[in-house]
Structures are given as C-alpha cells and as structure tokens.
Amino acid sequence: MSLDVRPAVSLKPFNTFAVDVRASLFAEAHSDDDVRQALGLAHARAMPVLVVGGGSNLLLTADLDCLVLRMASRGIRVVEEQDGQVVVEAEAGEPWHPFVLHCLEQGLAGLENLSLIPGTVGAAPMQNIGAYGVEIKDVFHSLVALDRESGALREFFLTDCAFGYRDSLFKQQPGRWIILRVRFQLQREARLHLEYGPVRQRLSEQGIEQPTPMDVSRAICSIRSEKLPDPAKLANAGSFFKNPVIPAEQAQLLKQRYPQMVAYAQADGQVKLAAGWLIEQAGWKGFREGDAGVHRLQALVLVNHGQASGLELLNLAQRIQADILERFGVVLEMEPNRY
C-alpha cells in the first residue's frame, strides 16, 4: 500500500482553531487511488472516515476514533475555453486563496470577491462559500465526487448541487460524497461585483476608478485582513455563525426597537440580519474566558488565544446563541462542522 497511514496523530496542525485532539489513524490523499486505498483500509478495520481539507471549518471537541483523511491532491488546468468563457479545473487539495490568485494572474475573472477565504478547493462547494456578494454557485461549472456508497465516480453540475446559503447537497448528505476536483466557469472579460460592503469605497480610497479583478482582490484582502484575524497568528475558523434569515414581519419589529440594525431584504421576501451586529450589540465583542474568546475587531469570529479546548469554544458559542435568542428572538446557527 502506497498510502502513508499514521497512528495517534495530533490534529492541531490540521485545524485552524489549533485544537489539540488526536486521530486514531491519519493519512493524506494525493490521488484518487489514495482515496480508494484509505476507504478500503477503513472498511477492513470497520472504522469511520472523516475527510478534511484545510481544517478551516472544523470544531474538534474530542479525540477521534476514526481514520482522518486529509485531501492533499494538487493540480490546476484549463479544460475548456470558448468565446471568452474559460472552464478551470482544480484538484480538491489545492489551497483556495492561492488558487484564486493563480486564476487572476492568468487573466481569469470571477473569483476575485472570494479572495483570502481559508480552506481548500474541495471544501468550497460543501459550504457554498461566499463573500462580498458572490458565492461558489455563481462561478461553479461542475465537480467530480466519489460516492462512498457505491464506489463510483459521479459528475455534478450546478442544478445537481442544491446550493443554498452556506449549504449544498454535499453538506446535506454528510459522509457520502468525497469531492475530488472542481471546475469553475470564469471569464476573460470581467463583470465586477462592487456593490456589497465597503469594496467600492475601499477602491475609491485607493484612487482606483476603473478597477481590474486583481484590484478588487487586493481591496478585499485589505478589508478582510483588517477585520478577520490570520489563523496562523490567532487561531480561528473565520465567521462562526451564519447570518440569520428571518420573516419580514419579525425584522420590521426588531428594526423599530433597533433602528441601526443591519438587515438585507432577500428575494423571497425574508430578511437577512448581520449576526456580527447582533453579537456586538449583546456585548460579546472582545469577550474572553480563559483562552476561548470573541475577536476584539469582529464579533462574528470566535478565537483560540492558545490552549482553549474545542469544548470550551463550543460552550462559548452556545452561550452566545442563548443570549441572542433571549435578547432578539433570533436563532444563530453555527457554521463549523463539529466533531
């Protein structure tokens, strides 16, 4: 067996919360064959498999009695180009932000608003990651995944994926699909999205009146760097809570009580609230208990100041959830997957 399988491995380097728990077995998959070997080994030992990418959407609360398989396959290629439309395929283990930069450097637009998001290409469709008015579904072409039930490869196109707000078929059917490679529909001629958040303002401050996709990427990197801590310096998993979507009637009543509340009308008539605003209003911004805390600049981000356990971080998140429900009557949903 060419697959390198190691026992009793600390997962601290493999999750951006830097929580120190151990996996019974650990392996990295650099190819489709590695994935199949890992599944075969786990089946032979009657052991569960947890597939991870960059570990940026994980909250680990205990040692894992399973085989943790980290997707580490690499490779980027153009598979189709016609009339300025370019389909780019990337292996699941490609780090997300370097992949975005690679595409921009090749003159391919579409991913610039998704700059500086942690994680890997293979994990991106799971959450339908999004930022600054763009989601994966807006640039998605197709992907190839392994069906763990049948062992067969399946190709998924946009309508197959059931993409929603931080949601997808792959999240709805946890453990069934292993995403091997993803294809994106990009453009030679940019159609920039500058309306969401402070992107246009930041470009204006930089004296850029006719921005390129790379300009947009740099502006978004600048904004994100000011608001969100670098996991390499302060352990975190990015936005910890989803922005809640509530009925318009409830939003109207809250707006009467809190005129400064940040809210966005949705196409279906509901209203999306800014979870970070709610948490900050409740006084949690900058809170710290032991090494578990809320970031001092962005209330949406929980942080590990050093030695916090996953259970301590989970307990803090649950306290915030309960407080927001009591104060505002709004349910906050956690983004990271918890194990």
The residues that are catalytic are 166, 239, 335
In Å, what is the CA distance from 253 to each residue of 248, 250, 320?
Answer: 9, 5, 22
In Å, what is the CA distance from 243 to each residue of 232, 263, 299?
Answer: 25, 10, 12
Distance CA 126, CA 121 (A): 10
Q: Report yes or no: 64 and 42 within 8 Å, Cβ to Cβ.
A: no
Which phi and psi angles does 258 have, rounded to 5°?
-130, 80
Can you give the length of the chain in residues? 339
Which phi and psi angles does 17 have, rounded to 5°?
-80, -10
Q: Is 39 left (phi over 0), alpha (psi -120 to 50) or beta?
A: alpha
Which phi and psi angles does 161 have, rounded to 5°?
-90, -10
Q: Report yes or no: 24 and 7 within 8 Å, Cβ to Cβ.
A: yes
3-state SS track over 80-93: EEECCEEEEEEECC
Strand partners for 9:
23
